[in-house]
Amino acid sequence: MRRVPGVLTATTLLLLAGCATEPGDAEPTDQPDPTVTVTETPDPDDTTDADDAPTTLPGEVVDTFPHDGTALAVVGVEHDDDLNVRSGPGVEFDVVHTAGPLDEEITATGTNRSLEDGSLWAEVQVAGTTGWVNTAFLSTLGQTDDVTSQLSERPSGGDPVGLGEQVAQLRADGAPSPRVTVADLPDGGDLGEVVVDLLGLPDDSVEGERLRVFLVQDGGTWTVRTVEATYLCSRGVTDELLCL
């Protein structure tokens, strides 16, 4: 029988087909690696204990006067000085505001800290700024009385400021260690007013007085005319402005 070149017999096709399916000729199918989820166990040492947190403010919090919302005034600051309001309780903190010797627009937040040196600092709000002030220079203003008749004498002399300080010493009679500061000076003219803060009075509720000493000048000599005392209350005031 004549063979036709290029034509494969059925037997040959079957043999070729069998060879094409031999194991090992086909590339193995890549199977994706199983996904492994690793859950890390927190290290106990990485957890911050509240007791170990750094202390940002010195001293300890104390629940004492001045309380939240208490209206306060600057006291015991000289007329040519200001009271520093600081970013924290202590002189090492930055000054964020200053208050004048007669500033009465200060409000306590109720947060107070006692420092190791014995000073008490209060967080306050003044002129839209929140800061800290040493409470030795803060007080609550109580009622105002005319105390002219209570003076043992009406001093006179050439120095109106010295007369104001003399009146304060008369009012401090019996106080073991009074602190006298001149908070405001006369404006000039024949009538003058000196504002003197007297602190350190031996009273649990009244720590001092803000004295407004009114003077009149005649021939170069100043004479005390009247004296008004606003009581400085160490524990706050009643609705009638009486010291608690």
Q: What are the tens digits of pLDDT across the range 150-186?
A: 999 999 999 999 999 999 999 998 788 899 999 999 9
Statement: residue 105 has pLDDT above 70: yes
- Vertex 133 angle, CA 64 and 94, to 5°: 140
pLDDT for 67-103, tens place per residue? Answer: 999 999 999 999 999 999 999 999 999 999 999 999 9
Distances from the Cα of 50 to the Cα of 44, 53, 54, 156, 197, angstroms: 14, 5, 9, 63, 44
The whole-number pLDDT of residue 49 equals 39
Q: What is the DSSP letter of 243?
A: B
Residues 6+ apart with CB under 8 A from 4: none
64 CB neighbour count, 10 Å cutoff: 13
Statement: residue 15 has pLDDT above 60: no
Contact of 66 with 122, CB cutoff 8 Å: yes
Which domains can be identified in the chain, with CATH numbers? 55-138 (2.30.30.40), 142-233 (3.10.450.630)
**CB-count burial class (<10 Å; 0-12, 13-18, 19+) for 185:** middle
Whole-structure pTM value:
0.74
DSSP 41-82: PPPGGGSPPGGGSPP-S-SEE---SSPTT-EEEE-S--TT--
Alpha helices in the chain (DSSP H): 10-20, 160-171
The whole-number pLDDT of residue 55 equals 52
Contact of 215 with 223, CB cutoff 8 Å: yes
